[in-house]
Amino acid sequence: MNEPFPETKTHRYQYDYPRPAVTVDIILFVFQEDQLRVLLIKRANDPFKAKWALPGGFIGENEDLYDAALRELKEETNVSNVYLEQLYTVGKPDRDPRTRVITVAYFALLSAEEVAQQEVHGASDAGEARWWDIYDLPELAFDHQAILDYALQRLRWKLEWTALGFLLLPSEFTLSELQRVYETILHEPLDKRNFRRKVLAAGVIEPTGNMRAGDHRPARLYRFTATAVEMEQARRRFP
């Protein structure tokens, strides 16, 4: 073996002009225990050691941005069936004190069913990972608070104009559960009758015929319709 560099040295990539490092960070939203939560990872190293940060990492040499986000998500949370949408690209020169980093932020929605199936805690090699209530966050590393604020803004907006709410729920859900998702994300109470009329009129959900037995009167279960899913799939990607 005739390595060009000794083993203790890393390989060097050389370019004629300076290049920034490019990462993807992911804002992964879930709805658990009547809370809207995001996944954060406690940083093991400086800078911002012991602060919480969005999961993410460097893009591969021959990897599409979307694929990189999927891969990071898979590495961190072991989920693959997820709604993923590009959010924004940040690139202030000093946002990472080590080197120039440009970050393409994605936001992701994970259904409750998949959250239950996955073991997310400690899944990261970057440090401790846990879910945080969006309305009770710790101090965040880098400019991640601003990215998260923007993600929440976009999520709210999409909720009002598209039919994204059910992506955070299991495949069968009651209208009250759906309403709680909306109320939690929008952070305001909604009128029950108007909510039901509106969501039913939109034609994005249909009754499954099943009922959810509970402590009290059983509730009709709904699923989202195939066309609603397709519409979101079509909208989510560039262009």
Partner DNA sequence: CCAAAAGTGTTATGCTTACACCCATGC
Partner DNA sequence: GCATGGGTGTAAGCATAACACTTTTGG
Q: Among the candidate windows 29-37, 93-101, 149-157, 171-179, which touches DNA by CB under 7 A?
A: 171-179
199 binds DNA (CB under 7 A): no
187 binds DNA (CB under 7 A): no
Q: Of the candidates 6, 13, 98, 136, which one interacts with a second copy according to CB under 8 A?
A: 13
139 binds, among a second copy, DNA, none (CB under 5 to 8 A by kind): none
Closest residue by Cα to residue 238 from 10, 27, 85: 85
Q: Of the candidates 216, 226, 238, 239, which one interacts with DNA according to CB under 7 A?
A: 216
128 is catalytic: yes
Q: What is the DSSP string of 90-121?
A: E--TTSSSSS-EEEEEEEEE--HHHHHHS--T
Q: Which amino acid is at 100?
A: R
CB of 199 to DNA, least distance (A): 10
Q: Which amino acid is at 121?
A: H
135 binds a second copy (CB under 8 A): no
DSSP state of 140: B
Q: Which of 128, 177, 188, 230 is catalytic?
A: 128
CB of 190 to a second copy, least distance (A): 22
DSSP state of 11: P
Do 103 and 56 touch, CB atoms closer than 8 A?
A: yes
- Residue whose pair of structure tokens reads 């911002």 in the numeric block: 48
Q: Among the candidate windows 5-13, 27-35, 56-64, 174-182, which touches DNA by CB under 7 A?
A: 174-182
Beta pairing class for 205-212 and 21-32? unpaired
CB of 147 to a second copy, least distance (A): 7
94 binds DNA (CB under 7 A): no
Contacts of 19 (CB under 8 A, 6+ apart): none
Size of the chain, expressed as the number of residues it contains: 239
Residue 126 tokens read as 């970057």
* Residues engaged in binding DNA (CB under 7 A): 174-176, 191-194, 196-198, 213-220
Q: Which positions touch a second copy (CB under 8 A)?
A: 10-22, 58-59, 61-65, 86, 88-93, 100, 102, 104, 146-147, 149-150, 153, 238-239
